[in-house]
Amino acid sequence: MGCPPVSTLMDENLQLTLPQLRERVQSALRQWRRDSGAPSPFAPLFLFQKARQQEAVGEHEATNRVLYQALQVLGESNPREAMLIQGSALDQEVNDHVANTLNVAPATFYRYKREAITHLTEVLWELEQSERGQHRTRMLARLEAPTYSQLLGVEEHIQRLTELLITPKPPWIVALAGIGGLGKTSLADAVVRGLINTGSRQEIGWVTARQSIFQWQGALHKVAKPALSLEALAEELCKQLMDEAITPSPNNPRNVVMLLRGVLKAAPHLIVIDNLETVQDLEALAAALRDLAGPTKFLLTSRESLYTQPEIYHYAVPELIPADSLELIRQEARARNMRDLLQAPDAELLPIVEIAGGNPLALRLIVGQSYVHPLPVVLENLAKARGSQIENLYNYIYRQAWQRLDETSRRVLLAMPLVTAAGADLGLLVEISVIPEAEVVAALDKLVRINLVDVRGDLRQRRYTIHNLTRAFLHEQVLHWM
């Protein structure tokens, strides 16, 4: 039997080499008849976790089941070695007696036994690799197809979020927040794919509450699905995590919520809920998630900041810095073989960044439109809100938020284009908007919560500003909605 082509087994906290796995096999064989109470030598293995979860058995029994599974496979290709291990290790027969049964000398027997354990280890290794591959395939199938080929400027975010999600302690709920088009869903996807591809044993569920899809070509599609409710969320997650359809009782739809709670409390899971701002009752769902969390972790994406909700870790997703914005433009141009855009100097591309800011969705739309139209015309259309594609972009990013604002909040937002990129303090906003301070404070609470206004500064002074794209939107498109 040949040595497996992969030299290590990975999980979040431990990396095993083949020799180390062999030592653990020997330890498991010694403990076959006796439960020492110590942690299982097979604890890092997917096979071990599967045995524990499927059969609801203790560590010792799960260890023995993994051993027996490997022995059965070994017996199919080498029954003599399987019998040797079975007789000398599992059945505790005297080694000399086993040697006599096999008609070999004791010295030869011990050599055969070492070789048998090596081959058993290789069998276990291959079984584990297969189990990990099946787990990876199942978890990736729960994700939507990625909409990106390479993300820019997210390395630190991915590292930080990964640390938050694999650490078995609070925060149990992490919320990615930011204006539409910043790439919150793509960031969540990259984090989850990274965990899957590096060997995370967690079961992962992904549910989207998205109501519309904007494509980089400028098309806006509505999703024909009802707003997400707690019961619908629980039903979808039970279907994913239990690999079967769950039909809630018409008389008591919350029974499926209790079923989900039992699953999530029994073992750590990672659950992603995308586009949380579109749910039927955000506060009720947030309260339910707090009850479902721990040891399970939740990763949420939302255009509405959830910093007012207790026990939710608020993670603001920023727009791209200018250097990454320029690189994204060139990346998109390279992918579409747009040589004139790819070869243009930074100075010629900076106007794109100035009007779109670091919003990846807007940057991609501009690149796509410049394939047909001159770049100055594309930028003027964006600034003047001309064309169905530009209108679709503004609708996708801003319409829902604008419709949720009261009249005072709208007036404060319309005053924001008069503020420089450095931002304005509360006093200046009161002066610009000609609105009483108390009303401006209340309006800022709403505008910041739905990410139409950004907050900068420190504890002693806060300054308020808006994205460049929001500035362009307020100059033209919003006039069509008033």
Rg (CA), the chain: 29
Question: At CA 392, angle to CA 391 and CA 398, rounded to 5?
Answer: 85
Q: From CA 451, how far away is CA 470, in angstroms rounded?
A: 10
Range of weakest confidence among 221-225, 226-230, 286-290: 221-225
Same fold, 155-316 and 394-481: no
Token pair for residue 49? 């976790």
**pLDDT bracket for residue 360 (50, 70, 90):** very high
**pLDDT bracket for residue 249 (50, 70, 90):** low
Question: At CA 219, angle to CA 216 and CA 224, rounded to 5?
Answer: 115
pLDDT tens-digit map of 393-413: 999 999 989 999 999 999 999
Res 8: pLDDT: 47
Burial class for 458, CB neighbours closer than 10 Å (0-12, 13-18, 19+): exposed
What average pLDDT does the segment 119-133 reach?
96
- Fill in the DSSP letter of residue 424: B
Q: Are strands 454-457 and 462-465 parallel, antiparallel or unpaired?
A: antiparallel
Res 197: pLDDT: 92
Q: Is 300 helix (H, G, I), strand (E, B) or coil?
A: strand
Judged by phi (left if over 0) then psi (alpha if -120 to 50, else beta), residue 480 lies in alpha
Q: Specify the higher pLDDT residue, 251 or 462.
A: 462
Average pLDDT, the chain: 88
The label of the residue with tokens 């498109």 reads 477
| CATH hierarchy code of domain 394-481 | 1.10.10.10
Could you tell me the sign of the dihedral formed by the alpha carbons of 103, 107, 113, 116, in that order? negative
**Helix (H), strand (E) at residue 315:** strand 313-316
**Helix (H), strand (E) at residue 454:** strand 454-457
Token pair for residue 310? 């207790």
Phi, psi of 458 (to 5 degrees): -135, -170
pLDDT tens-digit map of 262-301: 999 988 999 999 998 878 788 889 999 999 999 999 999 9
Range of weakest confidence among 10-14, 95-99, 452-456: 10-14
Token pair for residue 394? 């503004």
Assess contact for 237 and 207: CB atoms under 8 A. yes
**CATH: 3.90.1720.10, 1.20.1440.230, 3.40.50.620, 3.40.50.300. Which one for 155-316?**
3.40.50.300
pLDDT tens-digit map of 148-171: 888 999 999 999 999 999 999 999
Q: Is 149 helix (H, G, I), strand (E, B) or coil?
A: coil
Assess contact for 446 and 409: CB atoms under 8 A. yes
**pLDDT bracket for residue 33 (50, 70, 90):** confident
**pLDDT bracket for residue 331 (50, 70, 90):** very high
Strand partners, 214: 220
Query: What torsion, rounded to 10 degrees, do the Cα atoms 276, 281, 284, 286 define?
Result: 10
**pLDDT bracket for residue 136 (50, 70, 90):** very high
Q: From CA 24, how far away is CA 43, in angstroms rounded?
A: 10
Question: At CA 167, angle to CA 162 and CA 173, rounded to 5?
Answer: 75
What average pLDDT does the segment 241-260 reach?
70
pLDDT tens-digit map of 55-74: 678 899 999 999 999 999 99
The domain ranges of the chain are 8-141, 155-316, 322-384, 394-481
Q: From CA 390, how far away is CA 9, in angstroms rounded?
A: 49
Distance between the two ends of the chain, CA-based, in angstroms?
75
Share of the chain above pLDDT 70, in %: 87
Q: From CA 152, how far away is CA 334, in angstroms rounded?
A: 15
Strand partners, 270: 204, 297
Q: From CA 328, how far away is CA 343, in angstroms rounded?
A: 14
Q: From CA 313, how far away is CA 307, in angstroms rounded?
A: 8
**pLDDT bracket for residue 1 (50, 70, 90):** very low
The answer, yes or no, to whether residue 225 has pLDDT greater than 70, is no
- Residue (of 438, 473, 476, 478) closest to 181 by Cα position: 473
